[in-house]
Amino acid sequence: MKAACYETTGPAAEVLRLIDLPDPEPGAGEVRVRLQWSGVNPSDVKSRAGLRNKAMPFARVVPHSDGAGVIDRVGAGVDASRVGEPVWVWNAAWGRPNGTAAQYVTVPARQAVRLPDGVPPEAGACFGIPALTALHAVQGWGGVEGRTVLVAGGAGAVGHYAVQFARLLGARRVLATVSSEPKARLAREAGAHDVIDYRRDDVAVRVRELTAGQGIDRIVEVDAAANGRLDAELLAPHGELVLYGSGAAEFSLPFFPMILRNATVRCFIVYQLADADRTEAERTLQRLLTERRLVHQIAERLPLSRIVQAHELVESGRAVGNVVLSTEG
């Protein structure tokens, strides 16, 4: 099969290359997926760049955890009726050497989830990381029904889903921050009641106005280092700050605004969701997909052969939505 891989961490153009590998065989309890799309996430790009750890976790890595395709083989112990099932996959490259930047991937059967009818397969390559992160940030810890939610970066791959989930799961009011008018439009179309341009407007003043001084019950935060201090001031009493991203390795939060509000800080990484949380998130996602309630914001579709460009695009922060690679042909 054709695949993309790297054998040392470093810049995309220097370390990523296309190779031919033997088609993988599913082991016991696994399925093999003939991939159609591979999703590129900031996490894949950071791992390849060696930002978290310069050392390689395996001698060779085929990157990307998200993907979509069709099950074409099953290993021992897996129901053979799954052959032919359209699926999206999660955690394909988490703790595993061979991710979805290839024509085939094998994963434990549980990590290949049926793609409901009518969902475009390229969207399926955006669920494992962006959609499930957004869903857990919104639905976790009792959810947001009747609550006021602020999604920082409401046009981002995660943020755009988070705005939709907040609306669909009953938030009373959904605010989003963005940095441009096109992004404001996307966040509004996703369901945000109010959109604030964080580069132009005074976010604290706007939030006070828009919530009549009540503040925000749950903030879904993309950049803890940039916004943590401000977030502490925006929270309502007993508010929750849900941190899923940070632009810097360290950040600080001001103690007094947090303690005076009895605020809660929650951090999570989607790769390591507890089983019960993952099951709950998957169930909600499948329901909303089946009901055709979600909009999928694909920023760029590229062939696998242009993986370097795809990584550079994600790295630049210029992509508005998800970047996906076609693995067919």
Ligand X SMILES: NC(=O)c1ccc[n+]([C@@H]2O[C@H](COP(=O)([O-])OP(=O)(O)OC[C@H]3O[C@@H](n4cnc5c(N)ncnc54)[C@H](OP(=O)(O)O)[C@@H]3O)[C@@H](O)[C@H]2O)c1
CB closer to ligand X, 237 vs 247? 247
Angle (CA) 79-271-161 rounded to 5° is: 95
Q: Return the residues of window 161-200 that contact ligand X according to CB under 6 A.
A: 177, 179, 183, 198
Span from 2-10, 22-30, 210-218, 262-270 in contact with ligand X (CB under 6 A): 262-270
Paired residues of 173 in beta bridges: 148
Q: How far is the CB of 268 from ligand X (least distance, A)?
A: 6
Q: How far is the CB of 224 from ligand X (least distance, A)?
A: 10
Contact pick of 155, 176, 184, 325 for ligand X (by CB under 6 A): 155
Question: Residue 215, interface with ligand X (CB under 6 A)?
Answer: no
Interface positions, 134-153, toward ligand X (CB under 6 A): 152-153
> Could you give the CA distance from residue 63 to residue 77 in angstroms, rounded to a whole number?
27
Question: Contacting ligand X (CB under 6 A), which of 67, 130, 140, 191?
Answer: 130
CB under 6 A: which stretch of 35-43, 58-66, 187-195, 251-259 binds ligand X?
A: 35-43
Contact between residue 321 and residue 301 where contact means Cβ atoms under 8 Å apart: no
Nearer to ligand X, 21 or 320 (CB): 320
Which pairs with CB-CB distance under 8 Å and at least 24 residues apart come from 50-59?
50/9, 50/10, 53/9, 54/9, 55/9, 56/7, 56/8, 56/9, 57/95, 57/97, 58/97, 59/7, 59/97
With contacts defined by CB under 6 A, how many residues of the chain interact with ligand X? 27
Indicate which single residue of 157, 174, 207, 324 sits in contact with ligand X (rule: CB under 6 A).
Answer: 157
In this structure, what are the phi and psi dihedrals at residue 270, rounded to the nearest 5 degrees? -65, -25
Residue 252 exposed, middle or buried by CB count within 10 Å (0-12, 13-18, 19+): exposed
Torsion of CA 201, 205, 208, 209, to 10 degrees: -70
Residue nearer to ligand X on the CB measure, 26 or 245? 245
Instruction: Write down the least CB distance from residue 267 to ligand X, Å.
Output: 8
Q: How far apart are the first and last CA of the chain?
A: 11
Binding status of residue 245 toward ligand X by CB under 6 A:
yes
The pattern of x and - marking residues 83 through 122 that bind ligand X according to CB under 6 A reads ----------------------------------------
- CB 271 to ligand X: min, Å: 6
Q: In this chain, which residue has its C-beta nearest to ligand X?
A: 156
244 lies in the site for ligand X, by CB under 6 A: yes
Query: How open is the CA angle 225-231-232, to the nearest 5 degrees?
Result: 105
* Selected binder of ligand X within 235, 270, 307, 325 (CB under 6 A): 270
Choice between 31 and 234, CB closer to ligand X: 234
Considering the complex, state which of residue 259 and residue 269 has its C-beta at the smaller distance from ligand X. Answer: 269
* Contact between 24 and ligand X per CB under 6 A: no
When the beta carbons of 2 and 266 are compared against ligand X, the nearer one is: 266
CB of residue 181 to ligand X, shortest distance in Å: 11
Binding residues for ligand X (CB under 6 A): 41-43, 129-130, 133, 152-153, 155-159, 177, 179, 183, 198, 222-223, 226-227, 244-245, 268-270, 317
